[in-house]
Structure 1
Amino acid sequence: MKKQKFFMISSEILPEAIMKTAKAKEILAKGEAETVNEAAELAGISRSAFYKYKDGIFPLYRDSHNKIVTISLDLEHKSGVLSKVLNSVAAEGGNILTINQGLPLQGLANVTLSIETTEMNVTTEDLLNTLGDISGLKNLKVIGQSSQI
């Protein structure tokens, strides 16, 4: 799996479409809109632009500890792959709060993990990179973060 690289960038230099995507995601998270179409309209962006950028922009939480990070993983349907993921999270001090695993379809199973980061000894980005190195992991993305737990 290709490692993702993350940067901290001032919002002042980001293109308008990316900033409006972030605004639409915030609108959805706050429940100010019920649909992506409605949130995109409120933020002043097209739905297609929202979908283009939505998986690449996240709010920056200054303190990565005392958070719950929810990640989605696509794992090959092979014995031991999920176990490697769970052991890697535990080795870095992450506390797994929930595990949801779908049935394997076409050789891949989707797994969603919610991880408490309070006791982690690495950053969330480092944890994601560690997980990305696991053989059998085909896709990984952060789908949510909470503030204080």
Structure 2
Amino acid sequence: MEQNVKYYVVKDKAVPEVLIKVVEAKRLLTADKIMTVKEATDKCGISRSSFYKYKDDIFPFDDSSKGRNITLSIQISDEPGLLSELLAVVAKYHANILTIHQTIPVSGVATISLSIEILKDTGDLSKMVDEIGSLEGIFDIKILARE
């Protein structure tokens, strides 16, 4: 019987420490082909059973996104040049913009739906989203979909 699989995108502060350590152990194993699972888990301070239990279910968001599309919803202040700054961040990370839709601003705030293709040379997606969210005049940013 096939189970319905659901995926969630959460910020790292909401992820239990053991899962973060599993991701780190996987990174160590990828970086050092000679390292054993026992060595990687010892270095990260987790048990091998925890590693094997979660290794196929946790991964950094950007690792699985290459060649895929994401859609962001962004609440943005209606200020000249702010959309240009936002798009410059996307360009800086070498992502390809597929669509942009902006609502008419209400009370000085517009909603932008931005669909982005993640390419092979796209930088760290998490950092890109954080950098967009830290721009002056960005009120909220959410990842709506990942295809």
- TM-score, normalized by the shorter chain, greater than 0.5: yes
Distance between the aligned counterparts of 1:83 and 1:132, measured in 2? 14
Answer yes or no: is 1:79 the counterpart of 2:85: no
Distance between the aligned counterparts of 1:8 and 1:70, measured in 2? 21
2:111 counterpart residue number:
110
| SS of 2:129 mapped into structure 1 | helix
1:89 counterpart residue number:
90
For structure 1, which segment, 131-140 or 120-129, has the greater mean C-alpha deviation from structure 2 after superposition? Answer: 120-129
| SS of 2:64 mapped into structure 1 | coil
Structure 1 stretches of at least 4 aligned residues deviating more than 3 Å after TM superposition: 7-10
Q: Which amino acid aligns with 1:130?
A: E
Instruction: Give the gaps of 5 or more residues in structure 2.
Output: 1-9, 20-60
Answer yes or no: is 1:6 the counterpart of 2:12: yes
Distance between the aligned counterparts of 2:97 and 2:122, measured in 1? 15
2:65 counterpart residue number:
64
Q: How does 1:40-59 map to 2 (within 5 A)?
A: none
Aligned CA-pair RMSD:
2.7
TM-score (norm: length of structure 1): 0.57
- Determine which structure has more spread, i.e. the larger CA radius of gyration: 2
1:101 counterpart residue number:
102
Distance between the aligned counterparts of 1:123 and 1:61, measured in 2? 6
Q: Which amino acid aligns with 1:135?
A: E
> Could you give the per-residue CA deviations for residues 9-68 of structure 1, whole angstroms, max 9, x where no partner exists?
58xx9xxxxxxxxxxxxxxxxxxxxxxxxxxxxxxxxxxxxxxxxxxxxxx685221110
| SS of 2:105 mapped into structure 1 | coil
Instruction: Give the gaps of 5 or more residues in structure 1.
Output: 14-59
> Could you give the per-residue CA deviations for residues 77-119 of structure 1, whole angstroms, max 9, x where no partner exists?
1001111011110111010000000000011000000000114
1:38 counterpart residue number:
none
TM-score (norm: length of structure 2): 0.58
Percent of matched pairs sharing the same residue: 27
Q: How many residues align?
A: 97
Alpha-carbon contact 1:6-1:125 (below 8 Å) kept: no
| SS of 1:131 mapped into structure 2 | helix
